[in-house]
């Protein structure tokens, strides 16, 4: 066997090993199965804070490491991203469907809806949030087009716009949560409040993950470095988050 053939054979059987997925999963484990019920179900602020203190750093470390590997390993991303991101999105669809199914079960099975203790949901703010999120999908799409044509400066400009629009969306979410909590509408108020905070909070967490991924793209892009395959994958994810928001708005705010 020639040296070149041997090298090709070795490359074909090369496996990339990473601890990033394990770190991210451990972070999610401390936050959701442990931290969330500790605080909201059992009322233990101390245990909830401990779980969050362990989970958040692990999750951020895992995601940051994973993103860094994705940006720096172009051949790996080129081979996996067309299949990996759609597969991930399908799994996310089923998670959102489970949340919406619980909400539909609560609503359709109730004699009176919304139940006692609920507040009137705003209509103007979610429309503003919809405009922000749709606009951010447009800007990242234009930015991706700029990048594919070699315009790294134009890509950075539209990525900045996407970050600003996505950040404004999260700011609106924080403002809304702050208002609702101050009027006594909290996750434990009734079935509607539980569904509301679960669905909107889960969606907001996806927006946050998308923004963190965009930041991870922006940092090397400032120095002229980028991975087009990673950008495409994150862009697809962002469009998915945008599409889910239409279901959130229609079901939670206007139905």
- Whether residue 75 is predicted with pLDDT greater than 60 in this model: the reply is no
What is the rounded average pLDDT of the residues 60-78?
A: 69
How many domains does the chain divide into?
2
Q: Residue 141 has which token pair?
A: 């799409």
230-250 residue pLDDT tens: 888 899 999 999 999 999 999
Q: Is the same domain home to 26 and 103?
A: no
Q: Is the same domain home to 46 and 169?
A: no
Residue 7 pLDDT: 43
Q: Is the same domain home to 151 and 203?
A: yes
What is the rounded (10 degree) CA torsion for 207, 213, 214, 219?
Answer: 150
- Whether residue 2 is predicted with pLDDT greater than 50 in this model: the reply is no
Residue 4 pLDDT: 42
Q: Is the same domain home to 46 and 134?
A: no
Domain containing 96 equals 77-253
Among 12, 40, 72, identify where a domain stops: 72
24 band by pLDDT with thresholds 50, 70 and 90: confident
Q: Is the same domain home to 193 and 142?
A: yes
Q: Strands, E, within the chain: which ranges?
A: none
CA neighbor of 68 nearest in space, from 14, 17, 20: 20
Q: Is the same domain home to 24 and 37?
A: yes
Among 42, 72, 102, identify where a domain stops: 72
Backbone angles phi, psi at 68, to 5 degrees: -60, -40
Task: Specify whether the CB–CB gap between 242 and 129 falls below 8 A.
Answer: no
Q: Is the same domain home to 21 and 144?
A: no
CA neighbor of 169 nearest in space, from 122, 125, 214, 219: 125
CA neighbor of 93 nearest in space, from 211, 231, 209, 203: 203
Tell me the torsion sign for CA atoms 185, 189, 190, 195: positive
**Helices 228-248/45-72 angle, 10° precision:** 140
- Whether residue 17 is predicted with pLDDT greater than 90 in this model: the reply is no
185 band by pLDDT with thresholds 50, 70 and 90: very high
CA neighbor of 135 nearest in space, from 161, 153, 170: 161
Mean pLDDT score of the chain:
86
Residue 74 pLDDT: 54
Secondary structure class of 141 (helix, strand, coil): helix
99-147 residue pLDDT tens: 999 999 999 999 999 999 999 998 999 999 999 999 999 999 999 999 9
Among 72, 97, 112, identify where a domain stops: 72
């Amino acid at each position: 066997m020639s040296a070149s053939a041997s090298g090709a054979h070795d490359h074909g059987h090369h496996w990339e090993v990473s601890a990033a997925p394990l770190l991210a999963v451990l972070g999610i484990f401390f936050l959701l199965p442990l931290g969330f019920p500790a605080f909201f179900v059992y009322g233990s602020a101390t245990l909830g804070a401990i779980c969050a203190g362990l989970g958040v750093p692990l999750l951020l470390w895992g995601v940051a490491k994973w993103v860094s590997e994705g940006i720096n390993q172009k051949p790996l991303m080129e081979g996996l991203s067309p299949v990996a991101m759609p597969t991930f999105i399908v799994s996310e669809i089923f998670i959102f469907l489970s949340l919406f199914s619980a909400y539909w079960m609560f609503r359709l099975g109730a004699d009176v809806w919304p139940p006692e203790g609920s507040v009137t949901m705003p209509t103007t703010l979610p429309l503003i949030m919809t405009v922000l999120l749709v606009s951010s999908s447009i800007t990242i799409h234009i930015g991706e087009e700029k990048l594919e044509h070699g315009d790294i400066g134009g890509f950075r400009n539209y990525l900045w716009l996407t970050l600003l629009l996505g950040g404004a969306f999260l700011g609106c979410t924080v403002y809304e949560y702050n208002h609702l909590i101050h009027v006594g509408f909290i996750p434990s108020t009734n079935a509607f409040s539980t569904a509301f905070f679960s669905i909107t909070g889960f969606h907001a967490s996806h927006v946050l993950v998308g923004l963190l991924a965009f930041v991870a793209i922006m940092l090397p892009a400032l120095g002229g470095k980028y991975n087009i395959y990673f950008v495409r994958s994150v862009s697809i994810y962002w469009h998915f988050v945008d599409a889910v928001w239409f279901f959130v708005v229609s079901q939670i705010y206007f139905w």
